[in-house]
Amino acid sequence: MPYLYQDSKPRPAAHPGGARGTHSSGKGYEQLKQECLRRGVLFEDSDFPACNSSLFFSENPPIPFVWKRPGDIVKDPKFILGGATRTDICQGDLGDCWLLAAIASLTLNEKTLARVVPLDQNFGPGYAGIFHFQFWQHNEWLDVVIDDRLPTFNGRLVFLHSAELNEFWSALLEKAYAKLNGSYESLKGGSTIEAMEDFTGGIGEMYDVKAAPDNFYEILEKALKRCSMVGCSIDTSSAAESEARTPSGLVKGHAYSVTGIEEVSYRGQQVQLIRIRNPWGQVEWNGPWSDKIDTAAGHPSPKEMAASSLLCLLLRMKFEDFQMHFDKVEICNLTPDALEDSTAHKWEVAIHQGSWVRGATAGGCRNFLETFWTNPQIKLHLTEKDDGQDDCTFIAALMQKGRRKLKKLGAEMLTIGYSIYENPGRDGHLGKDFFRYHPSKARSKTYINLREVSHRFKLPPGDYVLIPTTFEPHQEADFCLRIFSEKKAITEDLDENIAIDLPEPLHPTPSPQETEEEKQFRALFEQISGKDMEISAEELEYVLNAVLKKTKNIKFKNLSLISCRNIISLMDTSGNGKLEFSEFKVFWEKMKKWISIFLQFDFDKSGSMSSYELRGALKAAGYQLNNYLLQLIVLRYSDEQFQIEFDDFLNCLIRLENASRVFQALSVKNKECINLNIGE
């Protein structure tokens, strides 16, 4: 790898709230704002310019949009007018209703809203045409800076807007989120839980209400005690059903928010009630336990429930009615740092970042056994049972990173999932045979092409291994795996520790009697080199290829001149750039071992080896490498079909041995690190 003297790219400034700045200048919101005020100009964001590329990547705008600042649209623009409410969220001509539903849920939680939408922004004194918003992305908070130029047509906002024509926080929030994801078009199509996670840093769960687990009431109860954001909705079977009102007053396709759940005593019986808020506020549940039902129909009036904490809620129903009328529930479980309520029951959280790299760690699902074992492996140690339970509850959420932003390059969401196995007590990477003979203990409910796949599990205390995968092998992506557990769980990458087991270098020694093989080599040497018995890289190329061609069980292609130069650099002890016959004999012993290893892992005897088998082949040669180094080597030495020719395998081993010998020579007392000067 090249030696990096200095990173010339400016590092983004940290935001006072703990979020990392993202502007390419390396400057934070306040610095950019003050510069504009000092110069007397309005901010123009070069990272997300007011042009068509920020709108669409697959087509030109269907109408001529004009980018305008709020002050050019209305006379008295406001950032937030009378508080952030559901009426501030009106959908425009972009298919991002999933985002709108998440923003509507966000308005129900003032503290969470204030983090995403800093409230100290306005169009009054100190206005500089710059605004900022904060989003969670892959285990860190980002501070996204934008200018306030918004796309309009005929003087009106085209996309998300407020019912109050002079209120702009929601339109600016949508623009910041579009910038985060590359363009407005990138926001077409998605799930509400995706945006809820980006607003909170939480883990999402989705439940089919009609097929919910038996303890679904308990799951919702615990979620609300942890201050989780909970949404629910009724499915539509066609576009015509969208926003259709049911006989009970509910609306299909709308996102409702669950805000409370409680078991109350009524007329000598325990009744489970659930509290729901309709962010759109236009219709209301008219079934049992609604405020419109009186005691004459056999239901309680509001006065009878005056002591209940569920009294003054807009929508209120029995839990069994909820299960009958709603189809989907989405839960966004918040991380401890997002919970300011000290009394809230908090999750324990563990996070792992990783990558699927073609040819190395992109093995696909269990259907592809030959490569499945090469996927990243995460060790999970469950130590404590849940309170009053025999098992340990945890949520495993696997997220593919950055795919929405890559839409403009043709990328789509990959189909992802994971499997969980009992760990037999091994510390290193589990091999192919383990998965051949051991079934999974648990797995994600399905493989699906969503940004995140999550599932709740209850397993006995013990050691497990979680395997995150794409469905098909050879698909590349970065991923983030998060584990939320009720009690503390210990997680770590089940990766190999780097270890090198090389024999002491052999020195040329005269043998009392030459073998038949040595006699043949000597004759060939004398024929090519002359009496000095030294050969150059070009001559070595001829010798080796001549010998390998005569070997019947080898289907190698010719070795390259570069390989022969590398061989001489490894074996030349005199430093004259040539190989003596005695040095060649030492190398040939290495060569025979490396040929044997290659043939062992060339399963189809084609003369090439699958790059997914490289881990085992290198280990047989004395090199135990971690995933990171393995990925780099595969990128360097494998072809487009994830195959490694013997010539490349040979070069890889020569490079590894050279590097190992240098490290051993420079290390002091077998330390795991060395200091190098520029000469070294």
Q: How far is CA 633 from CA 1, 341, 551, 630, 655, in A?
A: 11, 48, 28, 5, 10
97 annotated active-site: yes
* Structure-block tokens of residue 103: 């923003």
CB atoms < 10 A from the CB of 127, how many?
21
Type and span of the H or E element at 543: helix 537-549
* Structure-block tokens of residue 628: 């990171």
Nearest CA to 150 among 37, 48, 238, 244?
48
DSSP state letters, 622-672: TEE--HHHHHHHHHHH--TTSEEEHHHHHHHHHHHHHHHHHHHHH-STT-S
The answer to whether 534 and 579 have CB atoms below 8 angstroms apart is yes
Type and span of the H or E element at 322: helix 319-325
Catalytic pick among 278, 375, 423, 651: 278
Residues contacting 587, CB < 8 A, separation 6+:
567, 570, 571, 579
The H-assigned helical ranges of 165-281 are 169-180, 192-200, 216-225
Q: How buried is residue 40: exposed, middle or buried, by Cβ count under 10 Å (0-12/13-18/19+)? A: exposed
Catalytic pick among 23, 254, 429, 455: 254
CA distance 294 to 301: 5
Type and span of the H or E element at 539: helix 537-549
3-state secondary structure (DSSP) of residue 451: coil
Catalytic pick among 90, 97, 139, 166: 97
392 annotated active-site: no
Type and span of the H or E element at 617: helix 614-620
Query: Tell me, what DSSP letter sits at residue 332?
Result: E
CA distance 447 to 453: 8
Active site residue ranges:
97, 254, 278
